[in-house]
Structure 1
Amino acid sequence: MVITNPNSDDNPIVYINDAFERTTGYQRSRVIGRNCRFLQGPDTDPNAVQMIRNAIEAGEDVAVDILNYRATGEAFMNRLLIAPISDGLGKPVYFLGIQKELRDDEQDRASDATRLHLDTVCSRVNQDLGLIVSSLVDSAESEGLLSAEANKRRLRMLDLLPRRLECLQFVYEEMKLADEQWNRDGIDLGSLLSRISHTIAHNEGRPGVRFVSLVEPLEVNLDAAIRMALITFELVSNAFQHAFDGLDQGYLELRANRLAAGGLRMTISDDGVGIPRKMAFPSEHSVGGRLVSSLLEGLDGTLNVVRGAAGTVIMIDVPVGFTDFKG
């Protein structure tokens, strides 16, 4: 999977997943900020390159088999699907590339199954990214009032998207695991939220701040898993970034459990400086705040904030009708 930003000079790559590194041999540090053309080589079909260029200029989908080259110089045939990720006005803000190396046996037969699989993956990822992008669009933009300053602000906000992609990557890994286990119909939300929260703690934690995750095994459908994963990312990241300003020590806890009356409850609590009482939370003026509100609306969930003498408790309830628990 590759994400590029057509609103920056030369449509540079802003995100690749691990499979891209394994297939091409290029590490992230050598890829981010570059145009994808470095994968081309002396025997790459210029007609295939022109098809890609035309689709990107027109903001349209394209599917093409193209000869690419690994970091070692070895050539490989790549089945590539590209699709625009658009804002509320229909303008592409990113391009999504889903690619799969075609082996000799796949090239010798009609690989319709491969194309169908990539189409399905591309559609799923595009839908999930669209959910995130829609929350990044200012109300002024939705009304067609896009000033130069508003455009700069939008581009800065869109630069935050790649970090959210790690959440989706975790979800897709759990989805693959569920597919491989015949007795599972959904995604293990407990495992998913634990992985996400501990990854955040590893990346954003600091000495003196202790993090604890107490999450029950909870099986949910794909849409609920994606929304809860993104909500967890936003709220836990926000707590690490702001809850302990000026403090040498602190405690942050994530809990998720099934309710006796049905449904799911997640709480994120800290003993830090607390959210100011006059500050609305989640804030409609922040990227994360708008995203959390949008995700909660899709779950028909509720969010309540308890502001104590020290610290904050954020409690989220999601009704059972939107989670599909399995035993």
Structure 2
Amino acid sequence: MQEKDQHRTDARNAGNRLVAGHVSEDPFAAAFKATRMPMIVTDPNQSDNTIIFCNEAFRKMTGYSDDEIIGRNCRFLQGPDTDRETVSKIREAIVAGQDVAIDILNYRKDGSTFWNAVFISPVRDEAGKIIYFFASQLDFTNVKSREADLAAARHKAEAEVAKHTANLRSALDARTLLVHEVDHRVKNNLLTMASIVKMQARVTRDDGRRKTLMSVLNRIEALSTVQRKLFTLDDVSKFDVSEFTRELVTDLVDTTGRKDIRLSLDLSPLLVPAVKATPLSLIVNELVGDAVRRGLSDGGGDIHVVVRRLNGHFLIRIEDTSEPVEPDIENAELGRMLLEASALQLGAEIERKREGQKAIVEVVLLVGDHQENAN
């Protein structure tokens, strides 16, 4: 009994040292405590890799108090119907010091079960030694009961995210690594949302509702692309408009499967402050998506995209030449509202014009030299 109490005391002391390293205004500390996503930190240097810190969301999800959690290994959430093979996979990943994303049946304090989507990542110091394991959870019991194939789709999304985020810089200290792990969860959540919307569209029989869901999915995937781009840069304060545009436009056109929609790009390297990434991504997504839809007539069409710096301004220009297509009224109205809101947020000007069958849209935004680096 005394040894057990000592283990819990050691775990709590380790958690206190972790918290002491983060001032109250630290974005990691604020995000970790306030987020509605259950999160914990374990210490592999403690006996049995015990939990040294958890947030309020984790306590609410499991029903246990802080005193009942700190100093224990996460296996206390397992029960009679927890899959042993799943437990083994988690254990093997931890022993190997690898990321793991897996679904497991867990038990609350009152004995009730819930499906838990668990994401675990090791946190290393500058020497490469694992000093913590960071874990987040997601109770997706309701979704699990309605969508039997949700887990497979989410695993596919996780694999895609892992491919693009595999190389975190090893020289970062523990606090920076933990902050990056929170950012990693944002991308995971966007991809999980996209998977859920995609599955709902798949089972929806009403064409109107399906089109609406696919419209929402398109915007979520655009934002997910932004997050992926932001956090694969060495300098996460900057956002490369050209690289994002190249990837988004190519994906949009390739998704149609049409060979008669001809795409040409004139993209100059252009970095802008990362705070402008979300509204800029929505603008590019709406304008190119609109051009693609106009190119879906029987004769196809040409789409030309320009991103260029112009004397303290930068220009996004979308040209398309195609037969006019009757627009979807609701989707067109949503696109207009998103464009106007994003332009207002950026202080950008949007100009539209037609030259015969050619539709031209130009977006001009002022970016000071101290904010932008044209490489």
TM-score normalised by the chain length of structure 1: 0.53
Structure with more relative contact order (C-alpha pairs < 8 Å, separation 6 or more): 1
Q: Distance in 2 between matches of 1:294 and 1:272?
A: 27
Deviations 1:86-117 (A, max 9, x none): xxxxxxxxxxx996314599998586957655
Partner of 2:356: 309
Secondary structure of residue in 1 paired with 2:233: helix
Q: CA deviation at 1:158?
A: 5.4
Q: Distance in 2 between matches of 1:256 and 1:122?
A: 30
Q: Distance in 2 between matches of 1:226 and 1:323?
A: 20
Q: CA deviation at 1:187?
A: 2.1
Q: CA deviation at 1:251?
A: 0.9
Q: CA deviation at 1:124?
A: 9.0
Secondary structure of residue in 2 paired with 1:163: helix
Counterpart code for 1:258:
R
Distance 1:238 1:99, change over 3 A: farther
Deviations 1:203-254 (A, max 9, x none): 125122211111110011112222222221222122112244232x421111
- Is residue 186 of structure 2 the alignment partner of residue 163 of structure 1? no
Instruction: Note if contact 2:272-2:367 (Cα within 8 Å) is conserved in structure 1.
Output: no
Aligned residue pairs, count: 225
Instruction: Note if contact 1:188-1:218 (Cα within 8 Å) is conserved in structure 2.
Output: yes
Counterpart code for 2:357:
A
Counterpart code for 2:289:
S
Q: CA deviation at 1:266?
A: 0.8
Equivalent of 2:120 in 76, 101, 110: 101
Q: Distance in 2 between matches of 1:243 and 1:167?
A: 20
Equivalent of 2:232 in 165, 170, 177: 177
Counterpart code for 2:90:
F
Q: How does 1:5-84 map to 2 (within 5 A)?
A: 51-52=60-61, 74-76=88-90
- Is residue 365 of structure 2 the alignment partner of residue 325 of structure 1? no
Instruction: Note if contact 2:261-2:295 (Cα within 8 Å) is conserved in structure 1.
Output: no
Q: CA deviation at 1:272?
A: 1.1
Counterpart code for 1:165:
I
Partner of 2:315: 265
Q: Distance in 2 between matches of 1:194 and 1:319?
A: 21
Instruction: Note if contact 1:284-1:290 (Cα within 8 Å) is conserved in structure 2.
Output: no
Distance 1:173 1:98, change over 3 A: farther
Secondary structure of residue in 2 paired with 1:202: helix
Q: Distance in 1 between matches of 2:279 and 2:254?
A: 22
Structure 2 unaligned blocks of 5 or more: 1-56, 64-73, 92-99, 103-115, 135-173, 191-207
Deviations 1:231-284 (A, max 9, x none): 21222122112244232x421111110012x111111111112489xx9xx989
Equivalent of 1:216 in 243, 251, 268: 268
Q: How does 1:183-262 map to 2 (within 5 A)?
A: 186-247=238-299, 249-260=300-311, 262=312
Distance 1:174 1:120, change over 3 A: closer
Q: Distance in 2 between matches of 1:275 and 1:125?
A: 36
Identity of aligned residues (%): 17
Counterpart code for 2:365:
V
Q: Distance in 2 between matches of 1:71 and 1:203?
A: 37
- Is residue 334 of structure 2 the alignment partner of residue 287 of structure 1? yes
Secondary structure of residue in 2 paired with 1:76: helix
Deviations 1:163-212 (A, max 9, x none): 22322232223222322x6xx85222211111111111111251222111
Instruction: Note if contact 2:239-2:273 (Cα within 8 Å) is conserved in structure 1.
Output: yes
Q: Distance in 2 between matches of 1:125 and 1:323?
A: 32
Secondary structure of residue in 1 paired with 2:231: helix
Partner of 2:39: none
Task: From the CA coordinates, give the structure whose radius of gyration is larger.
Answer: 2
Q: Distance in 1 between matches of 2:372 and 2:123?
A: 43
Q: CA deviation at 1:69?
A: 7.0
Compute the RMSD of aligned alpha carbons: 4.8
Secondary structure of residue in 2 paired with 1:214: strand
